[in-house]
Amino acid sequence: MTEYIVGLRFRTRSEVLTIEAEDALIAALKIKHDQPEAVISYVRKSNRRGDRRHPHRTG
């Protein structure tokens, strides 16, 4: 499985979560399943080097 970074807007604040999934669509659907009112901003593959400098919560 690949790790994806999902940017979303939930109520009045933005969040970035790290999700393990087969592809980007499944990662976005996992977030929508957990938080249906969230608005997905972007989904991208996790970048090990950059993500170590700027860690995200794992979902």
**Tens of each residue's pLDDT in the chain, 59 residues:** 889 999 999 888 999 988 999 999 999 999 999 999 999 999 998 877 766 666 666 66
Q: Tell me how far apart the alpha carbons of residues 25 and 38 are, in angstroms, rounded to a whole number.
A: 15
Total domains, the chain: 1
* Residue 47 pLDDT: 79
Q: At 26, which CATH number?
A: 3.10.20
Q: Tell me how far apart the alpha carbons of residues 32 and 50 are, in angstroms, rounded to a whole number.
A: 25
Say if CB 57 and CB 17 are below 8 A apart: yes
Domain interval for residue 26: 2-58
Please give the angle made by the CA atoms of 20, 31 and 3, to the nearest 5 degrees. 20
* Residue 25 pLDDT: 94
Say if CB 35 and CB 45 are below 8 A apart: no
Residues in the chain: 59
